[in-house]
Copies of this chain bind each other. A is one copy, B any other.
Amino acid sequence: MAGPYVGTRDFYPEEMNFRNRMFGVLRRVCESYGYVEYSAPLLEPISLYESKSSEEIVNDQVYRFIDRGEREVAIRPEMTPTLARMVSSRIMELVRPVRWYSIANFMRYERPGKGRLREFFQLNADLMGPATPAADAEILSLLVDILTAFGAKSSDFKLRLSDRRLFDSYVKHSDKEVSRGIGRLLDKREKIGDTAFAEELAKIADADLVKRVNSFLTIKASDLSELGKNGAIDPAVGDHLNQVIEILAAQGKAEFVEFDPGIVRGFDYYTGLIFEVQDTHPENRRAICGGGRYDRLLGQMGKQEVPAIGFGLGDVTLEQFLTTRGLLATVVDKVGCFFILFPETRDTSLKIASDLRRAGILVETSLDTSVKIGKQMEAADKKNRKFVLMQGGDELARGVVRVKNLLTGEQVDVKPQDLAEKLR
């Protein structure tokens, strides 16, 4: 029988259990910061993404088609444009700061590989309101808290941050095409290595520009004030970044954060702080999460400009991050009961099962009274039930149910009205 569509996954119950526990941690941490959950349509008009999302996504990766009503639609490849549409259409009613999160599925036509699938889930957490250092620090702090809630340590990942505006102001190159080319190159520097990076850079930039790019890459957080003072960068940008780092340090999160001028994020809507989480494991050296500030997107969609910052954390890369380190291990507890039915007492047994469920007890029943008890016990055990219940004609006559504990092997007879208590 055929498997799932290429680049997508069947979630059998074990995988679904992992996914639910993983998403449970994401939800819990987001809600501890006062973020509330929203959700949105699977399809959007393609125009929502054009000129807003990254060119690569719109041209090469989005699943787009024409619906039966001649509308050009896309299966959402990311959440931010939808979020901006939703928030901007109710901007007058929403109490700011708006703190929203969602966990949804997305599709992109990519070559499936390690940490990369065509259908993936992503947590999106976004903060819309004042563009203060406190706002930027909150989003970064949330991200760090999510990863440490899974048990990750500062040696497991690095949160690298920069500001979209630094590159332009420092490198001072006016040709947009060249700037974009350098951006794309910076984005893959980690992957292709320093030598290939230098070669590629020399192809698109003259010697002077190469020099400025290389100098740019050596900037450290401690240089920012000085560079601002001597006019190499906008002093307000440097000061803002320094404050963000200070706030995180005051919360004991300095060890997770690293200023890195070399990071670039692909989305065209970013306007300020940009960041990504780098998995430090030698086999997974890639960004497991990325985000940034996009202060103009909401204004493009509605009447009002509202500063915003957020990130997307994908389930495929997060799962790889967690499993490589043995975080969020699969633990299967034995729970609930398996009630074995007999022909002559079927209806009363099913009635007891029904009453137990109403009392909050998980009760699964056998369904075929012709199957041997040994085989049913085996099924109960394989399904990780803790108790087996039985009421044959003899037990029925005595007004009891036989309870076998599959962990200890102990068997006792219990009156139906005492069962819920006993099984809890």
Using a CB–CB cutoff of 8 Å, the interface residues on chain A facing chain B are 1-6, 8-13, 16-17, 19-20, 29, 31-34, 36-45, 48, 63, 65-69, 71, 73, 75, 85-86, 88-90, 95-97, 99-100, 105, 107, 109, 119, 127, 129-130, 132, 134-135, 137-138, 141, 145, 246-247, 250-252, 301-302, 336, 338, 341, 346-348, 350-351, 354, 357-358, 360-369, 379, 382-383, 385
Q: A40-B4, A88-B1, A119-B43 known; A350 and B137 CB under 8 Å?
A: yes
Which residues of chain B come closer than 8 Å to A250, judged between CB atoms?
347-348, 350-351
Contact between chains at B41 and A8 (CB < 8 Å): yes
Contact between chains at A43 and B89 (CB < 8 Å): no
Contact between chains at B34 and A336 (CB < 8 Å): yes
This chain: how many copies in the complex? 2
Contact between chains at B31 and A367 (CB < 8 Å): no
Contact between chains at A38 and B11 (CB < 8 Å): yes
Contact between chains at A107 and B38 (CB < 8 Å): no
Q: Which chain B residue shows the least CB distance to A355?
A: B251
Contact between chains at B11 and A367 (CB < 8 Å): no
The residue that A119 contacts in the complex, of B42, B145, B368, with Cβ under 8 A, is B42
Known: A5-B41, A134-B365, A247-B347. 10 other contacts (CB 8 A): A12-B38, A12-B86, A13-B36, A16-B37, A29-B357, A32-B357, A43-B107, A132-B368, A134-B346, A251-B351
Give the CA-CA distance A237 to B215 in the complex, in Å: 83
- Min CB distance, A374 to chain B, in Å? 14
- Min CB distance, A25 to chain B, in Å? 13
- Min CB distance, A135 to chain B, in Å? 5
Give the CA-CA distance A99 to B2 in the complex, in Å: 22
- Min CB distance, A362 to chain B, in Å? 6
Give the CA-CA distance A4 to B8 in the complex, in Å: 26
Contact between chains at A362 and B32 (CB < 8 Å): yes
Give the CA-CA distance A10 to B82 in the complex, in Å: 9
